[in-house]
Chain A
Amino acid sequence: MAENDGQHLLGLLLQDEQALLERWLRDAAVHLQGRASSAELERAFRDLLTALAKGVSGGGLDLDHEAYGEVRALLSELSRDRARRGFTPSETAVSVFSLKGALFDLAARAGQGTDAILVASRWVDALGLLTFDSYVRAREEVIAEQSEQLMELSTPVVKLWEGVVAVPLIGTLDSARTQIVMEKLLQTLVDTGSEHAIIDITGVPAVDTEVAQHLLKTVVAARLMGAECTISGIRPQIAQTIVALGIEFGDIPTKANLADALLHALRGSGVEVVRRRSGGGR
Chain B
Amino acid sequence: MSTSATGVDELPISSGDDVVRVRQLVRTRAQGIRLSLVDQTKLVTAASELARNTLVHGGSGTARIEVVQRAGRSGIRAVFSDEGPGIPDLDLALTAGWTSGGGLGLGLSGAKRLVDEFDIDTEVGRGTSVTVVKWSR
Question: Does chain A have a CB within 8 A of B85?
Answer: no
Interface of B is mostly: helix
Q: Is B44 in contact with A206, judged by CB distance below 8 angstroms?
A: yes
Contacts of B57 in A (CB 8 A): none
Q: Are A245 and B45 CB-contacts (below 8 A) given A209-B103, A209-B107?
A: yes
Report A-chain residues with C-beta under 8 Å of the C-beta of B92: none
Number of chain B interface residues as a range: 20 to 34
Q: Are B52 and A208 in contact (CB under 8 A)?
A: yes
Decide if A126 is an interface residue (CB 8 Å cutoff).
Answer: no
Chain A nearest CB: distance from B59 CB in Å? Answer: 17
Which residues of chain A are near B42, meaning CB under 8 Å?
Answer: 237, 240-241, 244
- What's the least CB distance linking B26 to chain A, in Å? 10
B91-131: CB near A (< 8 Å → 1, else 0) gives 00000110000011011011101100000000000000000
In the complex, residue of chain B having the shortest beta-carbon distance to the beta carbon of A213? B104
B16 part of interface (Cβ distance < 8 Å): yes
Check A245–B110 contact: CB distance below 8 A.
Answer: yes
B23 within 8 A of partner (CB): yes
Instruction: Considering the complex, give the chain A residue whose CB is closest to the CB of B16.
Output: A174
Contact, CB under 8 Å: B109 / A246: yes
Q: Quick check: is A247 within 8 A (CB to CB) of the other chain?
A: yes
Q: A: which residues have CB within 8 A of B? A: 172, 174, 205-210, 212-213, 236-238, 240-241, 244-247
